[in-house]
């Protein structure tokens, strides 16, 4: 199908971009275009104006400090893949992003675009949710720092205002020695996940689990955290009996819908399997490659 007609602007400052969004009802930000352009081609979006943010300064950097990670909204998937510092600064983030789409799409798609698009099967919203990230957005009313838990409202829906632009995402520090794993199942590598599970936790000197995080993509309207499973794990020693209970609880906690890709019951079972697999891998090696 042909794309609908729209105007195009490529402002050189954030202020100008925000003004264009507020002055033009139905205007949309254009970043990597890898989700928006297919939507236009299918006429599932009909914006009056595209505000291209490619010239906005300072949004294409990954900064690492003792306070954690700051990832600019225009950082592309391939930058994350190629950044050798991330192997220690945030291995889970880098590993999850390796699962995003195909080579060509990873050259264009961006962190901010994926967060704003809010596909419940996408890796970036999932990693933001499981890592308790802050999402920074700027609009006419100034800067807002939005917790990932409050950012994703429903499938393809966020708490962003129409005039707001995501500028960066902030990750809490990642302690060395943290155990982690990510597993997803997709029909072909690079496809959106049917479901995926990220787990991480620390092991104290007493050998028990502390600060367990378990996040799921593809099994709800938004990326989710499995609070009940986290509570089950915290303060326990990880053994096969605990993994079995976590697997069962994870599966029981989610309530995914059926769609053309998979039945809800299949996704429920998959979440349990991936949780068990993730816990075993995290415990034994701290990394899954």
Ligand X SMILES: Cc1cc2nc3c(=O)[nH]c(=O)nc-3n(C[C@H](O)[C@H](O)[C@H](O)COP(=O)(O)OP(=O)(O)OC[C@H]3O[C@@H](n4cnc5c(N)ncnc54)[C@H](O)[C@@H]3O)c2cc1C
With tokens 């053309």, the residue in question is 260
- Strands 209-217 and 195-203 come out as antiparallel
| Of 69, 280, 111, nearest in space to 181 by CA | 280
The side-by-side arrangement of strands in the sheet containing 142-147 is: 62-65, 68-72, 165-171, 134-139, 142-147
| 79 touches ligand X by CB under 6 A | no
Q: Hey, what are 251's tokens? A: 């599966």
| Nearest CB to ligand X, comparing residues 140 and 284 | 140
Within 10 A of 39 (CB to CB), how many other CB atoms are there?
Answer: 17
Within 10 A of 75 (CB to CB), how many other CB atoms are there?
Answer: 21
Among 17, 18, 20, 29, contact with ligand X (rule: CB under 6 A): 29
Candidates 35-43, 202-210, 234-242, 251-259; binding stretch for ligand X (CB under 6 A): 35-43
| 113 touches ligand X by CB under 6 A | yes
| 216 touches ligand X by CB under 6 A | no
Candidates 97-105, 232-240, 249-257, 271-279; binding stretch for ligand X (CB under 6 A): 97-105
Candidates 26-34, 82-90, 195-203, 270-278; binding stretch for ligand X (CB under 6 A): 26-34
d(CA 287, CA 190): 20
Among 69, 73, 92, 131, contact with ligand X (rule: CB under 6 A): 73
| 165 touches ligand X by CB under 6 A | yes
Which residues make up the interface to ligand X (CB under 6 A)? Answer: 28-36, 38, 53, 73, 100-101, 105, 108-110, 112-114, 116-117, 122-124, 160, 165-166, 191-192
């Amino acid at each position: 199908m042909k794309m609908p007609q729209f105007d195009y602007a490529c402002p050189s400052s954030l202020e100008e971009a925000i003004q264009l969004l507020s002055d033009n009802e139905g205007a949309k930000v254009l970043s990597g275009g890898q989700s928006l352009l297919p939507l236009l081609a299918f006429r599932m979006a009909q914006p009056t104006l595209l505000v291209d943010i490619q010239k906005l300064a300072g949004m294409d950097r990954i900064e690492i400090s003792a306070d954690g990670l700051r990832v600019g909204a225009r950082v592309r998937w391939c930058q994350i893949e190629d950044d050798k510092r991330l192997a220690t600064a945030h291995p889970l983030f880098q590993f999850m992003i390796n699962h995003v789409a195909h080579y060509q799409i990873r050259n264009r798609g961006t962190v901010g675009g994926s967060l704003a698009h809010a596909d419940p099967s996408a890796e970036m919203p999932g990693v933001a949710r499981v890592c308790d990230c802050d999402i920074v957005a700027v609009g006419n009313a100034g800067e807002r720092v939005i917790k990932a838990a409050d950012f994703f409202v429903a499938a393809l829906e966020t708490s962003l205002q129409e005039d707001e632009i995501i500028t960066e995402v902030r990750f809490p520090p990642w302690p060395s020695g943290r155990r982690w794993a990510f597993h997803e199942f997709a029909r072909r590598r690079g496809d959106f996940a049917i479901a995926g599970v990220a787990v991480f936790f620390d092991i104290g000197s007493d050998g028990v689990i502390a600060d367990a995080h378990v996040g799921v993509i593809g099994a709800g309207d938004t990326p989710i955290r499995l609070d009940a499973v986290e509570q089950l794990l915290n303060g326990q020693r990880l053994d096969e009996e605990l993994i079995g209970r976590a697997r069962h609880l994870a599966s029981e906690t989610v309530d995914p819908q059926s769609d053309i890709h998979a039945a809800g019951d299949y996704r429920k079972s998959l979440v349990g399997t991936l949780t068990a697999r993730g816990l075993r891998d995290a415990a034994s090696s701290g990394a899954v490659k």
